[in-house]
Amino acid sequence: MESQRKFFESGRTRDARFRRDSLARLEKAITGAENGILEALKSDLGKPAFEAWGSEIGPVLGELRFARRKMAGWMKQRRVSTPLLSFPGRSYIRPEPFGCVLIMAPWNYPFHLTLMPLVSAIAAGNCAVLKPSEFAPATARLMSEIVEKTFDPGQVTVVEGDAGTAEALLREKWDYILFSGSTAVGRKVMEAAAKNLTPLTLELGGKCPAIIAADADIAVSARRIAWGKFYNAGQTCVAPDYALVAESVREEFIAGLRKSITEFFGKNPAESPDYARIVNSRHFARLSGLMGGGRVRLAHGGRDLAPSGRVLCGGEMDRERLYIAPTVIGDVPAGGELMRDEIFGPLLPVLSFRDMEEAVRVVKSLPPPLSIYCFTRNPATMEGILGAVPSGGAIMNDTLVQMANPRLPFGGTGASGFGRYHGRAGFDAFSQKRGVLRRPFWPDFRFRYPPYKLPLGWLKKLF
In residues, how long is the chain?
463
Could you give the angle at which helices 112-123 and 58-75 cross, rounded to 10 degrees? 20
Strands 309-313 and 417-418: unpaired
9 counts as catalytic:
no
Which listed residue (56, 203, 208, 342) is catalytic?
203
Rounded CA gap, 236 and 112, in Å?
12
Is residue 185 classed exposed, middle or buried when 0-12, 13-18 and 19+ CB atoms within 10 A define those classes? middle
Sequence-ordered strand ranges (E) for 266-388? 298-299, 302-305, 309-313, 317-318, 323-324, 327-330, 347-353, 371-375
Considering only CA atoms, give the Rg of the chain.
25
CB burial string 187-219: b at 16+ within 10 A, e below: ebbeebbeeeebebbbbbbbbbbbbbbbebebe
Rounded CA gap, 246 and 96, in Å?
50
Q: What is the DSSP string of 390-421?
A: --SEEEES-SSGGGG-TTS-B---GGGEE--B
CA 462 to chain centre: 46
- The strand pairing partners of 358, in sequence order, are none
Which listed residue (100, 127, 208, 237) is catalytic?
237
237 counts as catalytic:
yes
Annotated active-site positions, please?
203, 237
